[in-house]
Amino acid sequence: MTFQDQIQQGIPTILPQPKPYEIDINHAPKRKEILSAEEKKLALRNALRYFEPQHHAELLQEFRDELETYGRIYMYRFRPEYEMKARPINDYPGKCEQAKAIMLMIQNNLDYAVAQHPHELITYGGNGAVFQNWAQYLLTMKYLAEMTEDQTLTMYSGHPMGLFPSHKEAPRVVVTNGMVIPNYSKPDDWEKMNALGVSQYGQMTAGSYMYIGPQGIVHGTTITVLNAFRKINRSPSGGVFVTSGLGGMSGAQPKAGNIAGCITVCAEVNAKITHIRHSQGWINEVVEDIDELVKRVTLAKANKEIISIAYLGNVVDVWEKFDQENIHIDLGSDQTSLHNPWAGGYYPVGISFEESNEMMANNPDLFKEKVQKTLRRHAAAINKHTAKGTYFFDYGNAFLLEASRAGAAVMADNNIDFKYPSYVQDIMGPMCFDYGFGPFRWVCASGQPEDLQKTDTIACEVLEEMAKTAPFEIQQQMQDNIQWIKGAQENKLVVGSQARILYADAEGRVKIAEAFNQAIAKGEIGTVVLGRDHHDVSGTDSPYRETSNIYDGSRFTADMAIQNVIGDSFRGATWVSIHNGGGVGWGEVINGGFGMVLDGSKEASRRLESMLFWDVNNGISRRSWARNEGAVFAIKRAMETQPLLKVTLPNIVADNLLNF
């Protein structure tokens, strides 16, 4: 069968042969035992409902074995025979260009070079899934191949509920992930519902089909590191940045450190993913001996090298050893998946990777005890360095939250706030998000590197022209992004699809997108898919990350994210998504995303202007109402350019009136 034939058949009527478990693939760890005997039967009923009754007897024992062995039913037998990668858009079968673009993006999320655990359909973060099982993937791709512009596909946590009649202006796909009743948002609730096959953790861009590999976070991390050095009035040259995690999102840290121009030490306990990142060129060197690491960093500091070093081991050992050897750390953070601390997101010190994986599945209580003890040691070591002048920031991965729950010394004197700020609270919020700057991204659906190069040039020209008249308040953001896009090609950031990211405000996004659409209309480039990270101005309500610099008491509300997705859906988005969880944990955040296909048409021009303007200014208006000075400036400027925009502005209360 051809690739197109396999897509169109969906779930095969003749069962494929069982597939061997490929040990060379980076697999998800076994999930802990959480279902009762009756619930296991329910999980099997739920899995078998995808298949005709004549296949149930044959599949039952196989799915039962998967559930017992891995804690989930992945349906490995149904993994496609074809290579999993983003193909040129014209290679996909279908009746609708928009649906073909979505198929491309789904396959990019599952590309072996992109996905963290591709056989388990997990893109990043240890549990950020595109689908729960392979039957869902096959059925979804079939529906997309059949879709017309008068239908919308509804996705329930990876399950394609079906194609419903709609209209051309409606989104082609609406995605929800993990949207459970609030009282059932504890970690074990997710474990149970995921094991039953009824809900999943979509992370942010994993379950939204908009992940573009580590490049997506490289840029945000680069901007964060540059601004962190500016905050401490220190040049990156010869400065040391210590962090941990080399998985999906966190794997971007070494590359970002190189672009920023510092010495990066990133610890990782998983040898397989460490060597993958090294082979991809995201890391310069791998060191396995802690004493050798000390010598290498000392030399790099003396020579002011720009270098990234992966330490194959636990980051706690690095913090403690550098303290003993008095190696000064300028910047410190952590980007392990602490939203998922008990299932592979964070590993205890002093125990091997393999032993830890066995313990988390077979003795979860002891594993949790070891993790929390490690968190206390981790925080204690960080505290020693910050007392010597290290600037530490939480990278929004729930490090401080879980450390506090473990009893670590991370609370401020008031015992309410954390001792260390979130990077959004201290850096990205006031410097970028309040002014509307966030992670705008695009994918060249032709798959041609030449198209990506042309879009880089177009985007750079647009930004340089805008910078000529941009106000002083946003000149730094403009120049950072011009420098970024000029160096994008030489930094070899593409993994998977021909994609790019830069931080832009609403004006920049609209102008860049319109320039792309005009180039498509002229035949200069092929179809372009627009998107963004959920980690943006408007997309996410997360009290310890995206909305951590909201101080009016509303940071625990999620109106912004919900309004964002609803507004995007009727202003022209090709697909929209809304998730519970993502980055900081199940029950800790609500986040939304979108995708938009540009085809060179007048309709695309109208949609992009309407939707992108709303997508950014919704968040600026909320931040303005919270009295954020930069956001007040930005929303006033937006109202000057768009007469139909009328936003309620806050009146500032004099401090002396409240002195009682």
What is the spatial distance between Cα 521 and Cα 380, in angstroms, rounded to a whole number? 58
Report pLDDT digits (tens) over 46-83: 999 999 999 999 999 999 999 999 999 999 999 999 99
Which residue type occupies 202? G
Residue 243 has pLDDT above 90, yes or no: yes
Instruction: Tell me whether residue 220 is in a domain.
Output: yes
Q: Which domain holds residue 252?
A: 214-421
Hey, which of 15-29, 150-164, 397-411 has the most confident mean pLDDT?
A: 150-164
Residues 482 and 581 in one domain: yes
- Please tell me whether residues 407 and 440 are part of one structural domain: no
Confidence of residue 249 (pLDDT cuts 50, 70, 90): low
Assess whether 463 and 541 both reside in one domain. Answer: yes
What's the distance, Cα to Cα, between the start and end of the chain in Å?
78
pLDDT for 405 equals 94
Q: For the ranges 37-46, 330-339, 382-391, 449-458, which has the lowest average pLDDT?
A: 330-339
Name the more confident of 143 and 401.
143
Binding-site positions read 125-126, 203, 268, 395, 583
Examine the pLDDT at 315 and tell me if it is beyond 70: yes
Number of domains in the chain: 3
| Domain harbouring 546, CATH code | 3.40.1770.10
Relative to beta strand 391-392, strand 307-312 is unpaired
More confident residue, 242 or 187: 242
Quote the pLDDT of residue 250. Answer: 67
pLDDT of 492 reads 81
- The answer on 105 and 62 residing in a single domain is yes
Instruction: Give 518: exposed, middle or buried? Use CB within 10 Å, 0-12, 13-18, 19+.
Output: middle
Q: Which position has the token pair 């998107």?
A: 531
Rounded Cα distance between 220 and 439, Å, is 7
Partners of residue 264 on adjacent β-strands: 241, 308
Q: Does residue 153 lie within any of the structural domains?
A: no
**Distance (Å, whole) CA 206 – CA 28:** 15
> Which residues lie below 8 Å from residue 589, measured CB to CB, with a gap of 6+?
540, 541, 542, 543, 545, 546, 580, 581, 582, 583
Calpha distance 592→560 (Å, rounded)? 10
Residues in Cβ contact with 548 at an 8 Å cutoff, skipping those fewer than 6 apart: 421, 422, 424, 425, 429, 542, 555
Same-domain check for residues 487 and 611: yes
Give 6: exposed, middle or buried? Use CB within 10 Å, 0-12, 13-18, 19+.
Answer: middle
Q: Give Dmax over CA atoms of the chain in angstroms.
A: 78
Could you tell me what percent of the chain has a pLDDT over 90? Answer: 83
- Six token digits for residue 527: 């179809």
Confidence of residue 395 (pLDDT cuts 50, 70, 90): confident
Residue 110 lies in a domain: yes
Establish if 435 belongs to a structural domain.
yes
pLDDT per residue over 335-366, tens digit each? Answer: 888 888 888 889 999 999 999 999 998 999 99
Q: Do 374 and 440 lie in a common domain?
A: no
Let me know whether 386 and 452 are in one domain. Answer: no
540, 552 in Cβ contact below 8 A?
no
206 within a domain of the structure (yes/no): no
Tell me: pLDDT of 483 over 70: yes
Binding residues for NAD(+): 125-126, 203, 268, 395, 583
Query: Phi/psi of residue 503, each to 5°?
Result: -90, 125
Long-range contacts of 477-482, Cβ-Cβ distance < 8 Å, separation of 24 or more: 477/431, 477/432, 477/435, 477/437, 477/503, 477/505, 480/223, 480/226, 481/437
Distance between CA atoms of residues 84 and 120, nearest Å: 13
Eight-state DSSP code of residue 25: S
- Read off the pLDDT of residues 447-457 as tens digits, 9 standing for 90 and up: 999 999 999 99
Average model confidence (pLDDT) across the chain: 94
Tell me if 121 sits within 8 A of 27, measured CB to CB.
no
Query: Would you say residue 438 lies in a domain?
Result: yes
Asked whether residue 641 is assigned to any structural domain, the reply reads: no
Range of weakest confidence among 11-25, 183-197, 250-264? 250-264
Question: What pLDDT sits at residue 422?
Answer: 84
The residues with which 124 forms a beta bridge, in sequence order, are 128
What are the CB-based long-range contacts (under 8 Å, 24+) for 652-658? 652/627
pTM exceeding the 0.85 threshold for the entire prediction: yes
pLDDT of amino acid 489: 83
Given CA atoms 489, 493, 494, 499 in this order, what sign does their dihedral have? Answer: negative
Judged against a pLDDT cut of 90, whether residue 494 lies above it is answered with: no
pLDDT score, position 261:
94
Q: What would the pLDDT profile of 568-593 be if each residue is shown by its tens digit? A: 999 999 999 999 988 788 899 999 99
225 lies in the same domain as 303: yes
For the purposes of burial, counting CB atoms within 10 Å of the CB of 464, is it exposed (0-12), middle (13-18) or buried (19 or more)? middle
How far apart are alpha carbons 570 and 573 in whole angstroms? Answer: 7
Q: Angle 475-487/449-467 helices, nearest 10 degrees?
A: 160
- Pick the last residue of a domain from 392, 421, 450: 421
Please tell me whether residues 607 and 480 are part of one structural domain: yes
pLDDT given at position 583: 76
Task: Indicate the pLDDT class of residue 283, thresholds 50, 70 and 90.
Answer: very high
Report the C-alpha gap between 623 and 538 in whole angstroms: 9
CATH code of 228's domain: 3.40.50.10730
Residues 274 and 192 in one domain: no
475-487 and 215-231 helices, crossing angle to 10°: 130
- Other C-beta atoms within 10 Å of 317: how many? 17
Based on the fold, state whether residues 445 and 413 are members of the same structural domain: no
Provide the token pair at 621. 């208006």
Over pLDDT 70: what percentage of the chain? Answer: 100
146 within some domain: no
Indicate whether 290 and 322 sit together in one domain.
yes
177: CB partners within 8 A, 6+ apart? 157, 158, 199, 200, 201, 202, 207, 577, 578, 579, 580, 581
User: Is pLDDT of 214 > 80?
Assistant: no
